[in-house]
Structure 1
Amino acid sequence: MYNFRAMNTTIATYYLNEQHNRQTEAWFRHVENTLSRFLPESELSQLNRTENTPFLPSDVLYEAVAAADRFYYETDGVFNPYLGRDICRLGYDRSFEKIESGNVEIQNQFLTNKEAPAEIDPKMRMITIHGAMIDLGGIGKGWTAQQAANQLSKKTPFGGIAAGGDIIVWGMPKENWNINISTPESWDKQLFSFKLDRPAGIATSSTVKRSWKDKNGQTHHHILDPRTHESSQSDLIQVSVIAPDLAVAEVYAKCMIILGWEKGIEWVLEKRKDLGIVGVKNDHSIVTGGAIRDYSSEGLIYYGERTVHSHS
C-alpha cells in the first residue's frame, strides 16, 4: 500500500509498483491544481470568474465539467454541480479544515440560475457558465480516481485506489477484494464490510463528517438540496453506493441523501438497475437495496448492534 495526501484526504493505492504509484500521485495533484475551487489560480477558479463568456479549458477541466453536467441532466438536477455560490454562502468557502465551526456567518441571499446554468460545446470543447459557480467536490475526486483506474488497468492486471470515501478496484487478486465502510461518526470505526466478486467503484457520502455550525448554532453540511439551496434534511445521514463506475457511485450516493430513503431508492432504481445501495438513517438503522448481491454474493457483514431493513 502507498499513501499520499491530495484533495484534502489521504489517497491509498494497492498492488501498484513504484512507478505507477508516482504517476497516480502526480495525476491527483495535477487534477487538484486544475479543479480546486479553493485555489484562486486553479483553472476552475478562472472559469468561475467568467460570466456568459465562452471559456476554452484544458482537457482535464473540460472532461470533468462535461461529466458533471451529464449527471446534472441524467438526474434531473438532483445532482447539481452549479451550487458553488450556495455552498460558499453557507460557510464552505475554504478548505474544510480551515472552517471555524461555531464562528461561521451565514448569508441569506442566494443566486443560482436554474435554467441552463452552463453550456458545454462538444465540438469547440468550450464551456460557458450563466449565473452559476461550479463546485465539483466529491465527483471531482471520484472522477479523478476512475480516470486513473482506467489507465492503470491497461498496465497492471489488478489494483485499487482509496480516496476518502471513494474506492475503485479493477481486476481480481487471488483473494477477492475486502471492502470496509466506516460509521458516519468516525473513520476509525467499521460499520460493515463485504467481499467483492468483481471490479467496482464504491462511494460513501455522509452528512456528518463534513459538517459545521454557524454563529447561531445551526448545523450545516456539504450536500446541498438543489430544491432549497440548503444542506439536505432527509432521513439519511450516510449512503454507500456500489456501481460499475466510481463517478456514478459518487453521484447517486449524494442523490440518495438528498431524496431520502423511500423516495430515493425508488427513483434511483428506476434510473439505474446496476447499483447496490446501503443507507444509514437518522435513527442509525441500516437500509439496503438494489443489486448488492450482483457485486458480493456473500452479502454484507455488520459490526455492532444494527437494525437492518432490506428493500426488495
Structure 2
Amino acid sequence: MTPGTHPTGTARAAFPALGTTAAVLVTEPEALPVAESVLRAEVAAVDRACSRFRPDSELTRVNVRAGSPTTVGQYFAEALGAALHAARITDGAVDPTVGRAVLALGYDRTFASVRPDDARPLPVARPAPGWQRIVFDPRTRRLHLPPRTHLDLGATAKAHAAERAARRAAERSGCGVLVSLGGDLATAGPAPRGGWRVGLVDDHTEPATAGTPCVAVSGGALATSGVRVRTWRRSGRTVHHIVDPATGACPAPTWRTVSVAAADCVDANAAATAAVVLGERAPAWLGAAALPARLTGIDGGVSCLGGWPQDVAPLAPGGAR
C-alpha cells in the first residue's frame, strides 16, 4: 500500500525510517517542513522507546527485566497500551508477548541483516506467554512481565506513531495531513478534494503503476499486513515476520495481503494482522467487526468485505511519487 498520485496542490516528503519508509503528505505545500519535522521527531521517539534492535531502547531494558517490576516512560506506556488494546480487540490474535517466537524464527536483527537463507534448524515452536499475564498500571506506569517474556511492539507501535504524527502535524500546520509508515496510513485534518489516493500493492516500496488498484481515503486510517515482503528461509522453508501467538509459529498461508480501514491506525493495523493470523476464519471475524477490508489470497484472488469497493479504480498513469 502506497500513497498514490498527488492531488493537485499537495506536497510530499519521504525518508527511510524504522526499516521501512516514512512519508508525509500535506494539503498546503508551505506546511510541509513543519509536518516533516513532526514526523521525524515521532519516528525518533518510537525508535528510542520500542526498537528491538537498539541495546539502549526502553523495550530492550524492559525485556531484560522480565520477571521483575519496573517503571516505564510515558511514550513506552502509550505504545504498550496500544499493543494491549490490539490484543483485546483481536481476542489475542495479535499479542505483544510473541517476542521470543519472533527471535526463534531468526528475526533477531534488523530485517536488512536477516540471513536470507538460514540453514539452522527451526526450534520447537511454543505458544506465546499471553498478553493477559502482563501486569501493567497505566496510571503509575508500573509494568511486570512474566519471567522469560519478551515483548515485540513492532507493528502496533508503528501504527501508533503514524496516528500520533498525523494528528500532531495537522494541529501544528493547520492543514490536512496523511502519514505513511510502511503499510500503516493515518490521516488528520481536511482531506484534499476527492480524498487521498492510495495504491494497493504488496510492497509499499514498489511504485504504483497505471494498473495499480486504488482507493480514495477521506479520513481515518488504512493498514495493510502481508506475508510477501518480510520473508526469509529457515531450514529449507519460507518463514515471515507474522507469528500466531497460539502456536508460536508462522500461520498457514491463506492471505498474501490484507488491507483494513478503520477510524484509528492501531485498530486498522491490528485487524489486518489478525486476519493474516486467522487465515480462513478471517472473513467471518472481519465481518463481525464490520470493518471494510480487502483480502488477497495466495493465489491472487481478491475478497472485499464490509463496504470495501468491489471495483477499485486504477491509478492514473504515473503512479506514486
TM-score, length basis structure 1: 0.88
Name structure 2 gaps, 5 residues minimum.
Answer: 1-11, 316-321
**Any idea what SS the aligned residue of 1:225 has?**
coil
- Code of the aligned partner of 1:47: V
Query: What is the match of residue 219 of structure 1?
Result: 238
Query: What is the match of residue 225 of structure 2?
Result: 205
**Any idea what SS the aligned residue of 2:132 has?**
coil
Query: What is the match of residue 318 of structure 2?
Result: none
Shift of 1:109: 5.7
2:72 to 57, 64, 71: 57
The answer to whether the 8 Å contact 2:136/2:143 transfers is yes
Provide, for residues 192-248 of structure 1, a one-character-per-residue CA deviation record: whole Å limited to 9, x for no partner: 20122x21211111111000001x311100111112211111411210111111111
Query: What is the match of residue 6 of structure 2?
Result: none
- The runs of at least 4 aligned residues of structure 1 exceeding 6 Å deviation read none
The answer to whether the 8 Å contact 1:184/1:238 transfers is no
The answer to whether the 8 Å contact 1:234/1:259 transfers is no
Separation in 2, partners of 1:249, 1:199:
13
Shift of 1:90: 0.5
Separation in 2, partners of 1:115, 1:21:
34
2:141 is the alignment partner of 1:118: no
Separation in 1, partners of 2:175, 2:203:
33
The answer to whether the 8 Å contact 1:205/1:238 transfers is yes
Name structure 1 gaps, 5 residues minimum.
Answer: 304-312
1:25-104 to 2 correspondence within 5 Å? Answer: 25-104=40-119
Separation in 2, partners of 1:250, 1:99:
24
Separation in 1, partners of 2:114, 2:69:
33
Query: What is the match of residue 215 of structure 2?
Result: 194
Separation in 2, partners of 1:285, 1:63:
37
Shift of 1:125: 1.7
The answer to whether the 8 Å contact 1:167/1:203 transfers is yes
Query: What is the match of residue 252 of structure 2?
Result: 233
Query: What is the match of residue 308 of structure 1?
Result: none
Distance 1:246 1:287, change over 3 A: same
- Code of the aligned partner of 1:195: A
1:11 to 6, 22, 28: 22
The answer to whether the 8 Å contact 2:92/2:131 transfers is no
Query: What is the match of residue 298 of structure 2?
Result: 282
**Backbone CA RMSD of aligned residues:** 2.1
Shift of 1:17: 2.6
1:255 to 257, 261, 274: 274
**Any idea what SS the aligned residue of 1:116 has?**
helix
**Any idea what SS the aligned residue of 2:200 has?**
strand
Distance 1:31 1:185, change over 3 A: closer
The answer to whether the 8 Å contact 2:87/2:131 transfers is no
TM-score, length basis structure 2: 0.85
Q: Percent of aligned positions with the same letter in both sequences?
A: 25
Shift of 1:146: 0.3
2:189 is the alignment partner of 1:140: no
- Code of the aligned partner of 2:108: D
